[in-house]
Amino acid sequence: MSQAATPRRARHTGGLVRSVYLPRTADALAFAMSTYGIPLLVLATTRSAALTGAAFALEWIPRLAAFGWAGSVVDRHGAAVVFHRAALGRALALAAGAVLLHFHPAGAEASVTVMVLAATTGVLTEFSYIAVETAGAAAGRRAGRRAHRVQAVLLGIDQTATLAGPALAGVLLLAGPPSMLAVITVLSLIAALLALRTPPSPVAPARAAKGQSGAGLLTGWRTIRSLPALGWLVTGLTLSNLATGLLQAAGPVIVVQHFGQSTTAVGLVWSAAAAATLLSVTLARFALDRLGLWPVGATCAVLASLGCLAAARAPDYPSYLVLVAVLMAADGGLAVVLRTLRSRLIPPDKFASTLSATILILLLPFPAAGVLTALTPPDALGHVITVCAVLQALGLLCAFARLRTDPALRT
């Protein structure tokens, strides 16, 4: 390696840190804190299990509605512009919420404030997520042969934020809702300012981008239907996500009201789950090399089903934390199997549209889980989670039974 190459590489790495890694870190932490912190905030403010579930649904329904056209907006205006505007909008919304909750910490005004925050942050977070994913992909392409290093760093940032965000939100909530919202506001402002340093991504012509969303999702749906292996796996994981989403939506109610723990304990559950997921994803890569897709996927399916069934009947908080971690670790292994299968089966010219359709289908159970939590009395949540866990087990059993002899999963 020449002496000139080292300074060039150092400058390139330094540029990535300033223009990609730091903005991604601030946004990912704000993303994790708002996703898990807003339902906690609703429970702390309203003391209502129904409103906590409704807030979870209000976070996810706008995200799903925005998912189909957020990509086309990023294509039309560029990742840096959309990232900046979405992060700035989220900061303004959270700042307004913090001020309102400072002056009206309880009552109808507080309830309206936190529910509006759930819906608003859900939409803006989806736009910022699509934008930073696009910026990360563009950085990988610019890195050339070092693209895998860029993606590895970005994945590590996301997992670390998921690990730290819920616990941090729970701790800050002990100081009061305005304090938690103020910290997420600052993180969002930092992300918005750093987004100005993000290199611009290619912008599609307005005429080409217009209407692209609906056509892309339709193409993706048709592709999934034409690939039986992918269709069966997506079906099984969709039912699995209903059980997982219900545990997420009902988590604050179960931990705080049923087990008598603090809001910090709720964040600790999902931080432990994120750590277990990160470990399982790492182990799954080595297991896939030795065993293949079907054995690894089937093992993870069994662990996920048993973990969810047991979590629904957990006798105390420590066992609940461990069982949720086991469930999410198994779910992480299933995600690796799905990503590998997608890369093998989906035609390159239809990959983006099929990926969008796949993600949209897999996310649909989350708002449904919020609605279920809102409509279910707290004492009956364990029974509902058990029913969803049974559906999860049946869905994954049918999926992997069908995939047992499929050539796509033999290697």
Quote the pLDDT of residue 5.
47
pLDDT digits (tens, 9 = 90+) for 208-220: 445 455 555 677 7
Spell 29-65 as b/e; 16+ CB within 10 A means b: bbbbbbbbbbbbbbbbbbebbebbbbbbbbbbbbbbe
Q: Is the pLDDT of residue 11 over 50?
A: no
Q: What is the dihedral of CA 334, 338, 339, 342, to 10 degrees?
A: 170
pLDDT digits (tens, 9 = 90+) for 281-302: 778 777 877 888 899 899 999 9
Least confident of 119-128, 151-160, 233-242: 151-160
Quote the pLDDT of residue 311.
92
Alpha-carbon distance of 26 to 17, in angstroms, equals: 12
Quote the pLDDT of residue 71.
64
Alpha-carbon distance of 327 to 280, in angstroms, equals: 11
Least confident of 36-40, 205-209, 293-297: 205-209
Quote the pLDDT of residue 4.
45
Q: What percent of the chain has pLDDT over 90?
A: 23
Quote the pLDDT of residue 367.
83
pLDDT digits (tens, 9 = 90+) for 93-115: 999 999 998 888 877 788 888 88
Q: What is the CA radius of gyration of the chain?
A: 21
Q: Is the pLDDT of residue 207 over 50?
A: no
Quote the pLDDT of residue 10.
44
Q: Is the pLDDT of residue 237 over 60?
A: yes
Quote the pLDDT of residue 46.
77
Quick one: three-class SS letters along the chain?
Answer: CCCCHHHHHHHHHHHHHHHHHHHHHHHHHHHHHHHHHHHHHHHHHHCCHHHHHHHHHHHHHHHHHHHHHHHHHHHHHCHHHHHHHHHHHHHHHHHHHHHHHHHCCCCHHHHHHHHHHHHHHHHHHHHHHHHHHHHHHHHHHHHHHHHHHHHHHHHHHHHHHHHHHHHHHHHHHHCCHHHHHHHHHHHHHHHHHHHCCCCCCCCCCHHHHCCHHHHHHHHHHHHHHHCHHHHHHHHHHHHHHHHHHHHHHHHHHHHHHHCCCCHHHHHHHHHHHHHHHHHHHHHHHHHHHHHCHHHHHHHHHHHHHHHHHHHHCCCCHHHHHHHHHHHHHHHHHHHHHHHHHHHHHCCHHHHHHHHHHHHHHHHCHHHHHHHHHHHCCHHHHHHHHHHHHHHHHHHHHHHHHHCCCCHHHCC
Alpha-carbon distance of 106 to 114, in angstroms, equals: 11
